[in-house]
Amino acid sequence: MPNPVPTRTRVKFCGFTREADVAAAVAAGADAVGFVLYAASARAVTAARAAQLAALLPPFVTPVLLFVNASAAEVDAALALIPHALLQFHGDETPEDCWQLSRQGRHPYLRAARIPLDARAAAFDLVEYAARYSRAQAILLDAHVQGFGGGGKAFNWSLLPTSVSSHLVLSGGLTPANVIDGIRELRHRGLSLAVDVSSGIEQTGPDGRPLKGIKDATLMQRFIAAVRQADAL
Ligand SMILES: O=C(O)c1ccccc1N[C@@H]1O[C@H](COP(=O)(O)O)[C@@H](O)[C@H]1O
């Protein structure tokens, strides 16, 4: 039966390092564009570079600043340059850390939940996690990979519960080919969601691996088209 309430799943593209890719993301219809402020990532940019790229975003496309175990000084310095950004905490931040780093909630933030790729996934209690991080705007679901995230790996969506008190952002290994299934899986569970992708919209090198930080305009267009297809189901 068709969904009686029209849905528009929000899309975040993450891990931008180049002006042309930001322009292509906006043209494709991204709702949010993310910058990785984590020096150990191959997609890392400085706060100053993120500010240059974020300045290209038109109204209603949100810049997202991704941090992994950053200090308050680092977050403050980035917010001084990009005050309207949404924050994403993707490391080991506690609920109190998130609260303090977001300046006592004055800046909205996403909290990443890193879901194991092995049998330990079944023991991951998302309901409890969401309750602990109830001040987050949403819980971003990612696979637990080395390097904290951006590994292009999908966790087992079928293990998710059917009711979670928070908004959810599905991420981890999404591609134009699997995002429809991901959206359907969460929607069937009655979960409220947006989606986020980094590796799945990147160009690939001769070894078939993503060129981290180098986006592919066609894949971005195909990803958004697939999301709209899922919304129409
Ligand atoms: O992209 C990174 O390098 C990164 C580093 C540290 C933490 C998170 C990172 N990326 C985020 O991971 C998820 C999933 O990405 P993918 O689509 O599986 O590549 C997404 O939120 C990225 O923003």
- The predicted-structure confidence for 81-93, as pLDDT tens digits, reads as follows 999 999 999 999 9
- Choose the catalytic residue: 21, 31, 98, 142: 142
For residue 205, what are the CA distances in angstroms to 18, 135, 197, 233? 17, 40, 18, 34
Q: What is the position in ligand 1's atom list of the atom closest to the CA of 153?
A: 18
Question: Taking residues 160-177, what's their average pLDDT?
Answer: 93
Alpha-carbon span 222 to 174, nearest angstrom: 12
Considering the entire predicted model, what is its pTM? 0.95
Where does ligand 1 bind, in terms of residues with CB under 6 Å? Answer: 14-15, 34, 36, 38, 41, 43, 66, 68, 90, 140, 142, 147-152, 171-174, 196-200
Minimum CA distance residue for ligand 1 atom 2:
150
Distance, in Å, from the CA atom of 30 to the CA atom of 185, rounded to the nearest integer, reads: 22
CA of 44 to the centre of ligand 1 (A): 11
**Model confidence at 208, in pLDDT bands (50, 70, 90)?**
confident
Distance from residue 159's CA to the centre of ligand 1 (Å): 21
Fold of 11-232: TIM Barrel (3.20.20)
Q: Which of 213, 210, 219, 204 is nearest to 17 (CA)?
A: 213
Model pLDDT, residue 5: 67
Give the ipTM of the model, two decimals please.
Answer: 0.98
pLDDT band with cut points at 50, 70 and 90 for residue 190: confident
- What is residue 28's predicted lDDT score, i.e. its pLDDT? 98
Is 98 assigned a catalytic role? no
Q: Which residue has the higher pLDDT, 210 or 70?
A: 70
pLDDT at position 19 = 98
86-90's contacts with Cβ under 8 Å and 24+ in sequence apart are 86/32, 86/62, 86/110, 86/137, 88/34, 88/64, 88/112, 88/140, 90/38, 90/66, 90/140, 90/142, 90/148, 90/149
Return the residue whose CA atom lies nearest to atom 12 of ligand 1: 150
Phi/psi of residue 65, each to 5°? -105, 115
Q: Which of 217, 164, 173, 218 is nearest to 193 (CA)?
A: 164
Residue 171 Cα: closest atom of ligand 1: 14
Q: Does the pLDDT value for residue 2 go beyond 70?
A: no
Q: To the nearest whole number, what is the mean pLDDT of the chain?
A: 94
- Based on the residue annotation, tell me whether 142 is a catalytic residue of this protein: yes
pLDDT computed for residue 135 by the predictor: 96
Give the position of tokens 């591609």. Answer: 175
Residue of the nearest CA to atom 7 in ligand 1? Answer: 149
4 band by pLDDT with thresholds 50, 70 and 90: low
Lowest mean pLDDT among 27-36, 74-83, 116-125: 116-125
Structure confidence at residue 200 as a pLDDT band (50, 70, 90): very high
Q: Span 41-69, mean pLDDT?
A: 98
Q: How far apart are CA 37 and CA 39, in angstroms?
A: 6
Query: Which tokens sit at 15?
Result: 């891990």
**pLDDT exceeds 60 at position 159:** yes
Using CA atoms, how far apart are residues 172 and 179, in angstroms rounded to an integer? Answer: 10
Average pLDDT over every residue of 182-207:
91
With cut-offs at 50, 70 and 90, classify the pLDDT of residue 191.
confident
Q: How confident is the model at residue 1 (pLDDT cuts 50, 70, 90)?
A: low
Average pLDDT over residues 58-79: 98
What are the extents of the domains in the chain? 11-232
CA 192–ligand 1 middle distance (angstroms): 21
Whose structure tokens read 């849905």? 7
d(CA 113, CA 96): 16
Contacts of 75 (CB under 8 A, 6+ apart): 65, 67, 87, 101, 102
Distance CA 84, CA 64 (A): 9
Higher per-residue pLDDT: 190 or 68: 68
